[in-house]
Structure 1
Amino acid sequence: MSITESESNFNDLENLSISELLTGINQEDQSVALSVQKALPQIEKAVESIVGKMRQGGRIFYIGAGTSGRLGILDASECPPTFGVDHNTVIGLIAGGDHAIRKAVEFAEDDRNQAWKDLLEYKISKNDFLVGIAASGRTPYVIGGLKAAQENNIKTACITCNPDSAVVEFSDYPIEVPVGPEFVTGSTRMKAGTAQKMVLNMISTTAMIQLGKVKGNRMIDMQLSNDKLVDRGTKMIMLELKIKYDAAKKLLLEHGSVRKAVEACKG
């Protein structure tokens, strides 16, 4: 039996109090970060390859089903506002299409050929990098996509919570984060999902920093999509140029980004 399907360390959950349930979930969650820590060497190798591809104009693709697919889409969708990249720089695809983001599509994950069809719509090539996300490590949609990618000389990685699973066979850079049994047996949206989210955060954030999208510790290319972000950008310019708030805000709105405003003033 796979680790992600193994029996919970807790039983008779329906008889536990709210406090006991919350304590148990929190107790299990504390093991996730330690599992991710053990996978850091694997993550590093994958990110090195990803950065190399992106420096040459390549893109990151995420594929997954269910929770795994939604997490990939979440990470991809947050890159443009956070780092100012094009929406086609990091692309998340889910088995069953966009409809499956909100509602489960029955048996969509069982089609071994569909992921490659979905990727071809974006004209994926050997310049790009594919990350397959599958907690179980045996999702046909993900396995098929990774296998087809390798056959077309596209570098691949996987994020899985079962060691030595099927997706590893088709991953140049396997990332294995075995977090143990879930609090509710088999509910991989919990610990496994948390682990996948942590790894995705690391991949995209580290790649964007390496690509120059952060200066110091600030998101200098973030999109100015609401008042909070305009205020944040204004304060970045204030600190960088040692000027007052109103002058900084005027520069920001005039140039459209923190980077452009600072570069315009510094020549």
Structure 2
Amino acid sequence: MDNTPFTERSNEITEKIDVSTPAEMVELLRLTDSEIFSGVNTEGLFSERVLESISGVTSLVEEFLRNFPPEDIAIVLAGCGTSGRLGYLISKVCNKLTSKLSKGRPFYYSIAGGNKSILTSQEAPEDDPNAGVQSLLEICHNKKKVIYFGITCGISAPFVGGQLDYCMKHLDKFIPVLLGFNPLNMARDVEIVGWDKTLRTVASDLNVVSLEGKGFVINPVLGGEAITGSSRMKGGTATKVILETIFLSALNDIGKDTSNTRSCGNVTSILKLYEEVCRNFYKTTANVMSALVQRGGVALTADAKIRYVASGWMGVVPLIDSTECPPTFGSSVDDVRGFVHGGYDFLGIENFGQQEKYFQLGVNDFIKMYKSQDVGNDAVIVFIQSQDDPIMTSILNNDLGDVLINLKGKNKIVAVLLENPTAEKICETDMNKYFDDILRVTFPEYDKTALTYWSVTCREALEESLYSCCLKWLVNATSTGGHVLLGKVFMNYMCDVKVSNNKLYYRAIEIIKKMCHGVSHEKATNSLLKSIYETNVVTEERRNKTVAEHYIFAARKDKVVPLAIVLAKMDCSVKVAKETLQKHSVVRQAILEMAKPLE
């Protein structure tokens, strides 16, 4: 029996993604994303238990928003990495809508590592349950009632676990909701320094609380990710789909007669819309997706960069995608970067760009950067959502157009026109002088029957949410496919993952075992420690260090896992292993030569 959590399992659909063409990659991604809705067992998204939980939480949120003054309540979305970034994005979008509905701004976000984690990997803080509690208290100290959403795809983040545990100790004020994608008995069950619990014990406690009607567990099983363990993809999309369904359905019902118990059919119909849009988007946009994968791969293999430029909350989706590449693929923070119109003023967070240039993320920063450096082969992907998009204005009236003209030819400058099927088409007149390629994406139409009684405001918000999911699929394919073509993936494993937190430390050991078929857990762990400390013999003193001490040291180093794989496979010295890796232009080539495929 395989006890590996579903979120950490290899997906057999994508076992050959590393030797696939861009078009084949897109098809494989389509098949894996469809599992968000089809599931891999009876406990999928549309199972009765999961739908009842989603429906129950929706009714609870609607009740809070309708019956309590906004200043007395908080709806907190908490998570680490991608989960925390999506919590930030969704809370901002929902507050924009509640403001229109005169319901204040009751949505809050809590992300491990603080606002800097929105822009870059700060994964070590996710292993601190006490930091999670402190963050929650800072948000909720003056609130009377709180609905807390703990988002952890693998049910593995101690930062979230600490918050859930605190909520269960204060049920008079907090209603805890766990959102993850494993069965509760597969929650992470490893010791956490400074904590007397594990995620599994917290999940078990919450299950009891939920049976008493004082909390909720939403945990459909989606199966393995396209890239093993990369929950930014299916897990991130499912998080977005479920939370938007809950909040938009609840906001639409404010002021209506909801005395009757909400039926699961209401939320089911909205989830079905996401499924329909997913299916039709891949069907109509596969050629554009594969073209962007190719562009990204060409740039990265030429040691050049991928740049996203966009505006609005839709524009934050590519920005989030860019922040996920370093921990996932071991890439530098400069390899894939996103730029959003309005920069920090639009995001509403402190300006980290004053500290480090890699955190400069406004369109004006993009203009300054490319005015001051002579580059070649970068893939610059500019997303334009309408004729009056601020990006279009910047191109036609400001320095952005001059920069694009100067870059064209030396780099690959691509305009992606994102069009609502019922809106006026974006005019391409004179755009050829700015862009090498113009790719038109028409978002799919969908059956609006389920929205017959929705308000115009909420219907428009849902449509934007549906289409931002499409953009997420598009940019996830671009960055993932680009790194696959670069050689950062072996079969469907992240062979150059950063060992920067508890979860990734244990994932690295499993990757070594998979790459070096037959290697024991003990040998894989020893090889990882040899690589971390660059030593041929791991002393007892080092072996007895905590996992946290190991990954804090490892986080400063590059190619820890590839080096460990070579050490485990060849039984050689660290010096020989490093020399072997240096002979190959990409990690995957070295692994292909030395590691046996899975049998």
TM-score between the two structures when normalised by the length of structure 2:
0.35
SS in 1 for 2:223: coil
Task: Please say if residues 156 and 170 of structure 1, whose CA atoms lie closer than 8 Å, have aligned partners that are also in contact.
Answer: no
Structure 2 residue 94 is matched with structure 1 residue 79: yes
Q: 1:80 to 1:192 in 2, by over 3 A?
A: same
Give 1:156 shift.
0.6
Q: How many residues align?
A: 223
Task: Supply the distance in 2 between the matched residues of 1:123 and 1:174 (Cα, whole angstroms).
Answer: 21
Give 1:104 shift.
0.8
Give 1:23 shift.
0.1
| 2:536 alignment partner in structure 1 | none
Alignment of 1:243-254 (within 5 A): none
Q: 1:170 to 1:155 in 2, by over 3 A?
A: farther
| 1:114 alignment partner in structure 2 | 131
Task: Supply the distance in 1 between the matched residues of 2:252 and 2:132 (Cα, whole angstroms).
Answer: 29
| 2:81 alignment partner in structure 1 | 66
Q: Return the letter of the residue paired with 2:123.
A: E
Greater alpha carbon shift after TM alignment, 120-129 vs 106-115: 120-129
1:92-145 CA distances to partner (integer Å, 9 max, x unpaired)?
111000000010113110001112211211234451110100000121000100
Task: Supply the distance in 1 between the matched residues of 2:203 and 2:243 (Cα, whole angstroms).
Answer: 17
Give 1:80 shift.
2.4
1:148-187 CA distances to partner (integer Å, 9 max, x unpaired)?
0121121110110011133533542000121000111111
Alignment of 1:1-267 (within 5 A): 1-9=4-12, 10-34=14-38, 35-38=44-47, 39-54=50-65, 55-57=67-69, 58-83=73-98, 84=100, 88-124=105-141, 125=143, 127-153=145-171, 154-164=174-184, 165=187, 166=200, 168-171=203-206, 172-212=215-255, 216-219=454-457
**Cα RMSD between the aligned structures?**
2.4
Give 1:205 shift.
0.6
Task: Supply the distance in 1 between the matched residues of 2:176 and 2:144 (Cα, whole angstroms).
Answer: 10
SS in 2 for 1:219: helix
Task: Please say if residues 140 and 146 of structure 2, whose CA atoms lie closer than 8 Å, have aligned partners that are also in contact.
Answer: no
Task: Please say if residues 126 and 155 of structure 1, whose CA atoms lie closer than 8 Å, have aligned partners that are also in contact.
Answer: no
Q: Return the letter of the residue paired with 1:103.
A: T
Q: 1:216 to 1:45 in 2, by over 3 A?
A: closer
Give 1:50 shift.
2.6
Q: 1:46 to 1:21 in 2, by over 3 A?
A: same
1:208-247 CA distances to partner (integer Å, 9 max, x unpaired)?
1122499743117x99xxxxxxxxxxxxxxxxxxxxxxxx
Task: Please say if residues 146 and 170 of structure 1, whose CA atoms lie closer than 8 Å, have aligned partners that are also in contact.
Answer: no
Q: Unpaired runs of 5+ in structure 2?
A: 39-43, 188-199, 207-214, 257-450, 462-599
Give 1:87 shift.
6.5
Q: Return the letter of the residue paired with 1:60.
A: I
Percent of matched pairs sharing the same residue? 26
Q: Which has the larger radius of gyration?
A: 2
Task: Please say if residues 67 and 189 of structure 1, whose CA atoms lie closer than 8 Å, have aligned partners that are also in contact.
Answer: yes
Task: Supply the distance in 1 between the matched residues of 2:85 and 2:135 (Cα, whole angstroms).
Answer: 15
SS in 2 for 1:28: helix
Task: Supply the distance in 2 between the matched residues of 1:126 and 1:176 (Cα, whole angstroms).
Answer: 28
Task: Please say if residues 136 and 160 of structure 1, whose CA atoms lie closer than 8 Å, have aligned partners that are also in contact.
Answer: yes
Q: Unpaired runs of 5+ in structure 1?
A: 224-267
Task: Supply the distance in 2 between the matched residues of 1:141 and 1:183 (Cα, whole angstroms).
Answer: 26
Task: Please say if residues 126 and 152 of structure 1, whose CA atoms lie closer than 8 Å, have aligned partners that are also in contact.
Answer: no
Q: 1:149 to 1:196 in 2, by over 3 A?
A: same
Q: 1:218 to 1:49 in 2, by over 3 A?
A: same
Where relative contact order (Cα < 8 A, 6+ residues apart) is larger, the structure is 1
Task: Supply the distance in 1 between the matched residues of 2:61 and 2:162 (Cα, whole angstroms).
Answer: 21
SS in 2 for 1:36: coil
Greater alpha carbon shift after TM alignment, 83-92 vs 160-169: 83-92
| 1:240 alignment partner in structure 2 | none
TM-score between the two structures when normalised by the length of structure 1:
0.76
Task: Supply the distance in 2 between the matched residues of 1:192 and 1:70 (Cα, whole angstroms).
Answer: 13
Q: 1:15 to 1:6 in 2, by over 3 A?
A: same
1:32-54 CA distances to partner (integer Å, 9 max, x unpaired)?
12332222111111222233333
